[in-house]
Amino acid sequence: MTKHYAFGRVIEDLDIAVVDDSKPMQAILRSTLLSFRVRRVRTFDGVEEAIEAMRIDPPNLILTDWHMKPVSGYQLLCRLRHRKMAPLCYLPILFVTAHGTRTLVDKVLRAGAQNVLVKPISPSILFDRLQWTLRDGRDLELGPGERFRIAGVAERLDEKARKWKAFGEHWAKVEAERGKLAGKVAAREAKRLPKPVETQPEPARKDQFAAVRVKQ
């Protein structure tokens, strides 16, 4: 097992590759990273272009978008983590996405990503995540499919999923018991209510004037 290639470096020593098919996003990330005094920032419009350039001149950290065509950021992650892609398989990879769902985060972390940032990204958050990554001493281990992943991440995510499932099942039982109790209370209260009194309809009113007989 080994550490990722940016472990222990300072931010001013970083050579960062930005992979994003959005030119405006490239410009934002580039200017923000250069404001941190990052040594070098390279931008790429797509995965194939990035891999070709990085094989010749490897960076030491990658920032990539999730949703790209024809090859996505997730596919980039899976390809780079294969042992045959050394030394690129040891690079820390951070995702930048507008779709930071729990399912997406779980998927990329299991596949070996260091972190996920959700757009819009403030400079302070990006700086903090970069600093955290440089201090991230977790080991990279060879997993299924001869792909490197971060040691212990899958196990922690599985444990968290079990806890969420147990919590959901417990809450469902609590809600079911509340429903039963509410039904019992409603039935008991209904028994306590007085029964409605049945009233007879009033007889039709008769004319108050007696009929007068006409004497012959």
Residues 127 and 120 sit within 8 Å (Cβ to Cβ): no
Distance CA 75, CA 38 (A): 26
Q: What residue segments make up the domains of the chain, in order of their start? A: 11-150, 152-185
Check residues 18 and 181 and name the one with the higher pLDDT: 18
Closest by CA position to 79, among listed 54, 56, 116: 54
Point out which residues pair with 149 in neighbouring strands. 141
Q: In the numeric block, which tokens belong to residue 35?
A: 């404001």
First CA to last CA across the chain, in angstroms? 134
Q: What is the pLDDT of residue 213?
A: 53
pLDDT range class, residue 25, cuts 50, 70, 90: very high
Quote the Cα angle for 105-43-33, to 5°: 75
Q: What is the pLDDT of residue 154?
A: 84
Question: For 60-75, how does the pLDDT look when each residue is reduced to its tens digit (9 = 90+)?
Answer: 999 999 999 999 999 9
Check residues 180 and 87 and name the one with the higher pLDDT: 87
**Helix 73-80 / helix 102-110 crossing angle, nearest 10 deg:** 20
pTM, 2 dp? 0.75
Residues 65 and 40 sit within 8 Å (Cβ to Cβ): no
Answer whether CATH 3.40.50.2300 is correct for domain 11-150.
yes
**pLDDT above 60 (res 216):** no
Burial, 152: exposed, middle or buried (Cβ in 10 Å; 0-12, 13-18, 19+)? Answer: exposed
**pLDDT above 60 (res 85):** yes
